[in-house]
Chains A and B, each alone.
Chain A
């Protein structure tokens, strides 16, 4: 029995098909979000307000990419997903990352919102998988959560720092935070998502995405109050033709071409080993 009291699964054998499909989509979304987080953190190794933040950003990038590797290994073993193809050959619109990461992160307040909201949302989704009935995930989840503590410290620390400064810094942070929270709400999905319900019923998740969003909103409300940042009282969220595979509404484009070009290393493709 798992910590959630449900039957354990060593593989997908015997797992209800709705739960298996929901888990596939969720892991894919986590991997894509972490891939894009890793890219943006990596880019912000330079340009941070202080040297310590540059080192921290570089380190956050490394750990996100390490998590992508762990998640891709699970996707490869249980769904036969080729990690190279996942990154190299999917069209932009197939990426299931949080839409906040689709465009360049255009300033330090936007970076802090990414760290404090988007990264924390992914971490809260991971936390909802602790003690999962899907055994291959358990050890990886605990390792990832252990490393994510430092991401959370960095995000909260900078959120408070910009909030205490007030003025334009705090205003830009509030705007970026509202934008990030809106994107995360869509990424987490509608409250009545059947795949999400199948995952909680099978004991693969202990909390639904809606519960994750509620907890995340409360985290941010407390942090904003402490930091003196004026948060939007309600984030308008619309689900129009929401696709559980991409966790986006119909018509969404995915990451910008320029970001995918750099992320895939297309300029250096000819140097790949074995090609």
Chain B
């Protein structure tokens, strides 16, 4: 890696943009993995990777999209290495997944979050990118390295699932405690991960 043909100003821009995007990385990571502590670990890992790869960032392109790709790949890698399986904290899972409807939250954000966590990861991330992150389908497809139609379909299915869960107030407690369901999630993840090149 040829050390810095970049000017000091360009380096400063990179740093500033990376700094600005950190809150978004935290939000995306929290939505993906559900646990604030793990999500923050993931974000720090992402920041280090982004820093190491900073010469590969194309100035003028979206820092948010670029770092989301890195975060997503780190997440998939960690998932496959059992990091989120082995030391999954049952107590926290229990609390997240069975928490009563939100205290003063007008839209029952805790219900929302619980419902989100029951979705298969690929649909969850698609919905997060498009429905929460404000990315276009095209941008989301680029981040997930898949076809636009695939993203549309994942978002559609995620929406349908949330519609039925939240409309009926029927949020299944599917998740980590249910071994079969969890295995299904992980298998799905493997499929997702298999097709994807890493962001470098």
Bound pair: A and B? no
